[in-house]
Amino acid sequence: MNKEYYLKETLPFSKDLNDEEKNELISKSFVGKYEKGELVHSKNSSCTGLLITMSGNFRVFISAPSGRQITLFKLYDRDVCMLSASCAFQNITYDVNLEAQNDASAIIIDSSLLKKLSQSNINVMNYILNLTQDKLSEVMYVLEQATFFSLDERITDYLLEQSRYQDSNMLYITHENIANELGSSREVISRILKKFEKEGKIEVSRGKIKLINL
């Protein structure tokens, strides 16, 4: 699928752009290809730009100097992330990390162009506002989960969600993956998974977790 088609199909404001703006959108965006685990954007990145997922998926997370991580949300087909364009918006003072979870591709739209279009076209700004509100809601949901639910409950929810998503009871996932999803440490996750195993809820082996009666 080509870039122009994807931009037109994914961005509802594309019908409200004039010809000049449309041409600029096409010329100031590119298709990036990323390998599994590749960091597309981080605190140390220069201004990456707005990302539209074309294939594979991406994980957006925050990290501590200690290396601990917590996932904010994931991006699947046609999901759009403007946090990697935060440099264009002075009020987003918090930078996130964005990594490819498998071999993936995405359209990246230049941040300055995004800023320019949003300042001159209310439809573009409305789109950015909706995206920002979506992300605010998602981050509040993550905060609620991290604050009010026990790690036992959160691990259970996460494993069940992965099982539904992959349509399988056998999950190929490391304890470190789970720790990075939930903002915990590998040691704590391993301890709880062992407890789950003793209770007959799961079976744990190297790089795999089989759900039995969770």
Provide the binding-site residues for a second copy, judged by CB under 8 A.
62, 64, 66, 68, 70, 72, 89, 91-94, 96, 118-119, 122, 125-126, 128-137, 139-144, 146-148, 183
Whether the CB-CB separation of 39 and 98 falls below 8 Å is answered with yes
CB of 205 to a second copy, least distance (A): 29
Residue 48 or 118 with smaller CB distance to a second copy: 118
Residue 26 or 131 with smaller CB distance to a second copy: 131
Residue 174 or 185 with smaller CB distance to a second copy: 185
CB of 44 to a second copy, least distance (A): 17
- Residues in Cβ contact with 85 at an 8 Å cutoff, skipping those fewer than 6 apart: 47, 48, 49, 50, 51, 109, 111, 114
Question: What are residue 46's phi and psi, to 5 degrees?
Answer: -75, -175
Residue 143 or 160 with smaller CB distance to a second copy: 143
CB of 8 to a second copy, least distance (A): 22
Dihedral of CA atoms 159, 165, 169, 173 in degrees, nearest 10, equals -60
CB of 175 to a second copy, least distance (A): 17
